[in-house]
A and B are shown apart, each in its own frame.
Chain A
Amino acid sequence: MEEKYIELLAKTDYDALTVDEKEMLKELCTNQSEFEEARQLMKELSALDSEPDLFDSRKVKKRLDEEFAEVYASRGGGWINFLFPPLKPIMNRPGIQLAMVLVLFIGSYLVLELMDFNNTKTVQLAKNENKLLIEDEEEAIDSEIDENSMLDEKKMGDKGRENNVLKTELILTPKVDIPIDPQETIVVIDDLISEEFIEGGRIHEDFIALEFEASRSDFTAAKDNATETIKFLIPTVQESPDLLDGLFVTF
């Protein structure tokens, strides 16, 4: 819009200007004579436009070429300029971007490597710990089994068949109708169990189950031969205290 004043000065007579155009030019000219002066100046200036100043371009250029060669020779080869072009902002220079990618890659690799190393170490430690626990457990079980079997063998050897019969008899006593004090019989059973505890320590569950099964079958057999058993059980503890000899029963 502001450029229009030249056009107005070149082509229009002041009186032919509209109110708006006069308003636009009021800073430049407020009357006919000022308008003419400005108009004449524009004419002269447009005639001067084509006039070149005398400039010995080659002389200056030669000096500049030398300077250019000096500056860019010291800056290094094309690759350096390609990687670090001076006109680009630092973060947009290919060399810097490449370096950042490399740092990121190496950093990620190291982090992953470290994480993997920690994982392997933890897993290995856990495995070792597990292995040790399993070994300990196995050892404990083995020793328990050994002890129990040894105790069992010993007990079996010591008491023999008689004891087994007696045990069965004593366990079965409350079930069958025998003329003895039931409390006394229970004590005997308890004592038998305590005896086993004293002698063999902790009894393995399987072992107890097996023994219980054996006792149960004995009980069934005893029930079937009730009459026979009653006959067999006639001599009670009270009547014959010598039956308890060798049973380590305490009252």
Chain B
Amino acid sequence: MRIFKPQYSKLLDEELMVMLGKGDKRAFDEVYKRYSQPLFGYFMKLLARDNEKCEDMVHDLFAKIIRKPEYFDTSRSFRTWVYSVASNMCKNEYKRMAVRKNVKSDLEPAEFLKSHEDTLKTVHEKRFSDRLQAQLEEMDEKHKSVFVLRHFDGFSMKEIAEALEINEGTVKSRLFYATKTLASALKEFNPIYQ
């Protein structure tokens, strides 16, 4: 039994999961604080930016963690594990929805202009982001997830391989393919072509 409460912010994800498994609410709060936003971003990129759907996905993922913390193998990295769960959830969602195209919950143009009317740079970023999202949606799931994990969630090749349960060579191959495809599709943003 601990006499003093641990500093949750300094604990490792895996330690927090052990405490969460014992019913420590503060450990859960810390895990949620660390991962809710990145996971939401991950779902947003993979699920056509359906805000409501992505919120539900985040909720479902954390509900799984609450109800079945024993599913997490403490010898593994929590980060890769939680993203592998998220990735599987996305696969299931794809299967359920069959084809998800153009379900974007884009902000209305007026709203967009209202909030981003300051600089041209912001407009450019917004345009690029939208186009990128559109291209990602057209891409198949296996290339998209590798690309998102690498460039949006900052995973290393090894972590991606672990999270998606594929070998590193495959990760590299998929990542290069996705990058090449997107780079080609988004070349309009390259100043050379403008």
Contact = CB atoms under 8 A, between A and B. Distances in A.
B132 A44 contact: yes
Contacts of B182: 41
Given A27-B172, A41-B183, A71-B66, A53 B32 contact: no
A63 B59 contact: yes
Nearest to B173: A27
Contacts of B23: 72, 75, 78, 81
Contacts of A45: 132, 151
Contacts, number: 126
A37 B184 CA distance: 6
Nearest to B25: A68
Contacts of A87: 17-18, 21-22, 69-70, 72, 74
Contact of A52 (B41, B67, B151, B157): B41
Nearest to B129: A48
Interface in B76-122: none
B152 A27 contact: no
A126 B111 CA distance: 104
Contact of A64 (B32, B69, B184): B32
Contact of B41 (A53, A82, A86): A53
A36 B190 contact: yes
B62 interface: yes
Classify the interface of chain A: helix, strand, loop or mixed: helix
Contact of A85 (B18, B58, B168): B18
Interface string A50-69: 01111111011101110110
Contacts of B74: 87
A34 B180 CA distance: 7
A238 B187 CA distance: 160
Interface in B46-68: 51, 54-55, 58-59, 62-63, 66-67
A132 B157 CA distance: 89
A14 to B, nearest CB: 13
B149 to A, nearest CB: 13
Contacts of A51: 125, 129
A81 B1 CA distance: 12
Interface string B149-183: 00110001100000000001000110011011011
Most chain B CB within 10 A, of A36, A68, A85, is at: A68
18 contacts: A27-B173, A36-B192, A38-B179, A40-B189, A41-B182, A41-B186, A44-B186, A45-B151, A54-B51, A68-B25, A72-B23, A78-B23, A81-B21, A86-B70, A87-B21, A87-B22, A87-B69, A88-B21
Interface of A: 2-3, 5, 27-29, 34, 36-38, 40-41, 44-45, 47-49, 51-57, 59-61, 63-65, 67-68, 71-72, 75, 78, 81-82, 85-88
Given A67-B67, A86-B69, 7 more contacts: A40-B183, A49-B152, A53-B54, A54-B51, A55-B36, A81-B22, A85-B22
